[in-house]
Amino acid sequence: MKSGTIHGVGLGPGSQDLMSVRADRLIRGASHVAYFRKQGRRGHARSIVEGLLGRDVIELPMEYPVTTEIPVDDPRYNALLAAFYDKQVAQLSEIAEAGQDVVVLCEGDPFFYGSFMHLYTRLEGRVPVAVVPGITGMSAAWTATGRPVTWGDDVLTVLMGTLPEEALVERIARTDALVVMKIGRNLDKLRRALVRASRDDEAWLIEYAAMSQERIRPFREVGDSVPYFSILVIHGNGRRP
């Protein structure tokens, strides 16, 4: 029997009309659709494709055993997630080995800081795996500001807010253009790092980029908390004609 294929499909930043034609075709024709979500939640990826799934589709929600309840440097964190990914890979492989394709919904791009990457590295060599790229959230964020993010020889740096403060300060100070993701609980640390790097007046915060709740404002106007879907952008000012 010919094996099915596991498709990691990038959905883009959160709006159906920013999905690729290939993503749309695979999602509409899927017999099995898998997606990540927090326990007790519907899942953002599933919400994006509302109205696109076939009537008889089999849905396979993959619920994280842990998200922010345990620090990432706690050995239990990696152990729980490794076991979780192994379990999902076993389920997906079983379906593919039975000759069925599975579409795995991925927010943004599957290969850019996404959970699908942990499935991909485990599935590779076991069953066929294909990846459909998607528009990243950071692309939607800088587009929302109405200004180009890089010019000429500008260096663009993408940072996670989870980095140590000293690392944030060093990299923010050195780069031309900047994107920071995973801000959440790291907001105060990021604010201090921007001030120390003398870049706080250049920073913009984009919430829910490309979604109906989209909001853009200077970072200096941000209060004590930000939504999960928040991205910081500093625009480059490099060479141009």
3-state secondary structure 131-147: EECCCCHHHHHHHHCCC
- The residue assigned the tokens 């499935």 is 119
Burial of 92: CB neighbours in 10 Å, binned 0-12, 13-18, 19+: buried
- 39-54 burial, b at 16+ Cβ within 10 Å, e below that, comes to eeeebbbbebbeeebe
Closest CA to 207 of 223, 189, 191: 223
**What is the spatial distance between Cα 135 and Cα 141, in angstroms, rounded to a whole number?**
11
> What's residue 223's pLDDT?
96
> What's residue 70's pLDDT?
81
Series of mean pLDDT values for 10-residue runs along the chain (241 residues): 95 97 98 95 96 97 88 86 97 98 98 97 97 98 98 98 97 98 97 98 98 97 96 96 92
**What is the spatial distance between Cα 133 and Cα 153, in angstroms, rounded to a whole number?**
25
Burial of 110: CB neighbours in 10 Å, binned 0-12, 13-18, 19+: buried
> What's residue 69's pLDDT?
78
> What's residue 195's pLDDT?
98
> What's residue 126's pLDDT?
96
SS3 63: strand
Q: Could you tell me if 71 and 185 are in contact, meaning their C-beta atoms sit under 8 angstroms apart?
A: no
The whole-model pTM stands at 0.94
> What's residue 73's pLDDT?
80
List beta partners, residue 204.
218, 233
